[in-house]
Structure 1
Amino acid sequence: MPSSDLYPFLYEWRGSFTNQEVNALHAEAFEHRLFDDDWNDQLDRLSLGWVTARDDHGLVGIVNIIWDGLVHAFVEDTIVAVRVRRQGVGIRLIEVARERMTNSAAKTPPFSAASHTEFEEDTGRECQHQVCQPKEVPRPVGVGRGRRL
């Protein structure tokens, strides 16, 4: 839905953005100097997904949903531009992320094809064919698998 006076923000799951946009938003939100981070690469490799918020002037918010590749997903870096704070943008970013993950194919989320062998020993995973699989790890009685958002 395009933005309008009634709905001034456009929210998009895995919405496009430029590194410059996110770096500027991050610097403003966390009050640090402007970095030159490659957000497209980071989010593509490490995230289950993200939600962008835009208005007629550009990117005003983003939330990153990271995950362990198995069953745990959590919110990282909810960022809202100062000029649109207190208008529900942050809340709506989280709502869209939650809706998308519970009402979509989040049960089999996309995972980067990058190799994760460097994490094998630390995480208890065996990496085969560039996709990490959980090792058989005994769990205490009564402990089940977690649920996604």
Structure 2
Amino acid sequence: MSEEISYTWRDPLTDEEMTDLTHSHGGDPVTGWWNKTKEHSLGWVGARNKKGTLVGFVNVAWDGADHAFLIDTKTRGTFQHRGIATTTVRLAAAHARAAGCEWLHVDFTPELSGSYLNAYGFRPTNAGLIHLPSTT
């Protein structure tokens, strides 16, 4: 039997929760990141188990008008492959649409293309990228 998960839009999240989630997801957390980042977000979707533990997250940054940007999709390591990321991304898209955004952008690594293009409904596009620390 799968554990019940609740999903919320713009639920208060602490920096400590985000650090813990990032670590459990396999990332390298930076203390203070969430406290700086949330100010620039249209919103975010948080997923919590019955105990209130943050088990999933996706952030929606935006330009204040038509374009929203999906970033930092994370699912706690022990909760992966249960559809949590799919649900958080779909809810994020619905909230961006409700806010009047016309476009939702996302970048992803090749191994995640199946999820983003199939399960989440994104379509491939051409894009450009500059890794700023590598340039002078």
Question: The residue matched to 1:77 in structure 2 has which SS?
Answer: strand
Structure 2 residue 1 is matched with structure 1 residue 26: no
CA deviation after TM superposition for structure 1 residue 71, in Å: 1.6
User: Which residue matches 1:90?
Assistant: 85
Structure-1-length-normalised TM-score? 0.61
Preserved CA contact (<8 Å) 1:25 1:81: yes
Partner of 2:10: 14
**What SS does structure 2 have at the residue aligned with 1:97?**
helix
> For 2:103, what is the secondary structure of its paired residue?
coil
Among residues 52, 65, 71, which one is paired with 2:46 in the alignment?
Answer: 52
Check if 1:75 corresponds to 2:70: yes
Cα distance in structure 1, aligned partners of 2:21 and 2:55: 7
Report if aligned partners of 1:9, 1:54 keep a CA contact under 8 Å in 2.
yes
TM-score of the aligned structures, taking structure 2 as reference length: 0.67
Query: Of the candidates 96, 103, 107, which is equivalent to residue 148 of structure 1?
Result: 103
Unaligned runs of 5+ in 1: 110-146
Would you say the 8 A contact 1:27–1:35 is kept in 2?
no
Q: How many residues are matched?
A: 103
Structure 1 vs Structure 2 CA RMSD: 2.1
Q: In structure 1, which of residues 47, 52, 61 is the aligned counterpart of residue 56 of structure 2? A: 61
Unpaired runs of at least 5, structure 2:
105-136
Aligned-pair identity in percent equals: 31
Which protein has the larger Cα radius of gyration, Structure 1 or Structure 2? Answer: 1
